[in-house]
Structure 1
């Protein structure tokens, strides 16, 4: 398959999805169930991506330093730390566990 054909098909598909979103009637978007779903969907997607990046390695589930960093970030969030402190705690714990294991 030609690479440019794949790029063109992908662009057309993205445009079609965008157009379909614009053609949805406003009344359908005002329903309470749709509003709840729209509010919860980004959180669920972010949680799924975080879990996949933390515990996935190829086709295997792994438990390594990334899990410790995620736990440290979760603890910092529970303590209501600022965002940069949360990130710094995750980085420091992950690096520390890797240094001890390595």
Structure 2
């Protein structure tokens, strides 16, 4: 793929994102106040965040990997289930990953 094609694709994608953002501001507010729309928006947000976490925790480039990030994610999930403060969740996950990497886990 040439640099020109890549930059054209980036500019087009940026313009599409900008257009969607502007379109979102033009949607009548009473449409967004409906319970079904609010529930769907909340679920889409959770699904997108979950997908992002899964991709970041279990892949490296195009390969699936099982490294220190997965146990760290499990520790974070348990801490969240126990209603630990967010800072504690982050610190526990970071310490878990650091300890496992120090012990030789990739």
Per the normalisation by structure 1, the TM-score is 0.80
Q: Is it true that 1:45 corresponds to 2:64 in the alignment?
A: no
Give the drift of 1:45.
Answer: 1.3
Once the two structures are superposed, the pairs formed by residues 57-96 of structure 1 within 5 Å of their partners are 57-96=60-99
**What root-mean-square deviation, in Å, do the aligned CA atoms of Structure 1 and Structure 2 show?**
2.3
Listed as ranges, the gaps of 5+ residues in structure 1 are none
Between 1:10-19 and 1:80-89, the stretch displaced more is 10-19
Listed as ranges, the gaps of 5+ residues in structure 2 are none
* Cα deviations by residue, 1:48-95 (Å, 9 ceiling, x for unpaired): 111100001122211110001111111212222221111111011101
